[in-house]
Amino acid sequence: MALPVARPDDPVDPEVDAELERSQTLLEQMGGLSGLIYSTLPVLVFVPVNTVAGLTAAIWAALGVAAGVLVWRLYRHDPVQPAISGFFGVGLCAFIAYRVGEAKGFFLFGIYTSLVYAGVFAVSILLRWPLVGVIWGALNGHGTAWRTDPRIRKLYSLATAVWVVVFGARYLVQSQLYDTDHTTWLAVARIAMGWPLTAVALVVTVWAVRRAGHLPADKSVADKAAAGTESTRA
């Protein structure tokens, strides 16, 4: 995505600055690129340890790595919310694996979480409330005003559809690997379809948000709003 090159004499757009600041804050809250990479470490440890030392050792090893990531982020004074969520997420996956009695159970929570997310995002498009627009409107304080402009709604629907594809692909591929007992390939798919696909979806989302923010005002929408105001006064 090509970005405009700023010149020293270019005027500063406060709204663009605020948009970039919100985007950076959102990325930081998600843990940034390092947080996405850290989230793969427990999976990288779990499968080989399970192969060598068994399920119990693998569970403790994954929990140990998740705890280590949390301590490391605390030491570096990085945002810890992603690490805390990741630790409890690994704990839940480990508990499911223990209850199932098989290593592949470690991936069961993520598989069905992807299915739920795909369904929720898809339904939001059908209801004409695309979640990307809802979430962004809540973050920037614009609420649901964007819904009055069909062009913006289409952009947010497109970005939301990309997330549907990402979550849906994760579910379809990983559930098939789960059903056929390919635990090692489950780990590979979990990593390969994790932060790389998330990064792609985020690029599309940022593009849609920026494109929506730079669209000229829709005259027909403005006329309808003005007409509504006049009728109210009358």
Residues 123 and 195 grouped into a single domain:
yes
Residue 10 lies in a domain: no
Q: What angle do CA 20, 24, 30 make, to 5 degrees?
A: 145
Task: Specify the range with the lowest mean pLDDT, choosing from 7-11, 80-84, 147-151.
Answer: 7-11
Each residue's pLDDT tens digit, 29-46? 455 556 667 778 899 999
> Which band of pLDDT confidence, cut at 50, 70 and 90, is reported for residue 224?
low
Distance CA 85, CA 150 (A): 36
Distance CA 46, CA 57 (A): 9
pTM: 0.77
Give the residue numbers spanning the domain of 41. 36-101
Residue 31 lies in a domain: no
Residue 24 lies in a domain: no
Residues 71 and 86 grouped into a single domain:
yes
Look at residues 101, 130, 148 and tell me which one is the last residue of a structural domain.
101
Residues 76 and 118 grouped into a single domain:
no
Terminal Cα distance for the chain, rounded: 48
Specify whether the CB–CB gap between 9 and 207 falls below 8 A: no
Radius of gyration of the chain (CA): 22
Residues 46 and 61 grouped into a single domain:
yes
- Whether 133 shows a pLDDT value over 50: the answer reads yes
> Is the pLDDT higher at 75 or at 127?
127
